[in-house]
């Protein structure tokens, strides 16, 4: 659970920046090279690379070398994790309610007999 929280923290930290969100939005349409990704931003390449590294460290994107360019793609499992967070909470509450129901219904039966 702690590791899970840490991973989520990393994801949300990576998302808390407009440049990184714009990069993700672009990658949502398909893979792109770092050069193409950097083009819309008035930013020196080293600064832009910091954003790419942050995204890569959070696991939200993957990069791989293809010839002379580096291609970035979105890592869908990470996005599923954000969504999975609420599903996990729901599963916890469903389980709790199941157990409460069994406990109370057993107690009610015990009272009648």
Residue 84 C-beta-side C-alpha neighbours within 13 Å: 11
Which is nearer to another protein, 49 or 81 (by Cβ)? 81
Q: What whole-number distance in Å separates Cα of residue 39 and Cα of residue 59?
A: 23
Shortest distance, position 64 Cβ to another protein, whole Å:
19
- Two tokens at 48? 């832009």
Binding site for another protein (CB under 8 A): 8, 12, 15-16, 18, 21-22, 24-29, 74, 76, 79-80, 82-87, 89-90, 93-97, 99-105, 107-108, 111
User: Which are the contacts of 45, defined by CB distance < 8 A and separation ≥ 6?
Assistant: 38
Shortest distance, position 26 Cβ to another protein, whole Å:
6
Which is nearer to another protein, 44 or 96 (by Cβ)? 96
Instruction: Give the DSSP letter of residue 16.
Output: S
Shortest distance, position 68 Cβ to another protein, whole Å:
26
Shortest distance, position 63 Cβ to another protein, whole Å:
17
* Cα 33-39-43 angle, rounded to 5 deg: 115
């Amino acid at each position: 659970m702690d590791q899970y929280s840490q991973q989520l923290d990393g994801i949300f930290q990576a998302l808390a920046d407009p440049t990184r969100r714009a990069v993700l939005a672009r990658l949502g349409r398909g893979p792109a090279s770092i050069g193409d990704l950097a083009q819309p931003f008035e930013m020196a390449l080293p600064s832009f690379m910091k954003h790419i590294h942050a995204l890569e460290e959070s696991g939200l994107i993957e990069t791989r070398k293809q010839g002379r360019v580096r291609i970035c793609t979105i890592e869908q499992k990470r996005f599923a994790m954000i969504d999975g967070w609420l599903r996990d909470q729901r599963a916890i509450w469903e389980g709790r309610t199941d157990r409460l129901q069994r406990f109370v219904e057993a107690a009610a039966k015990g009272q009648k007999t």
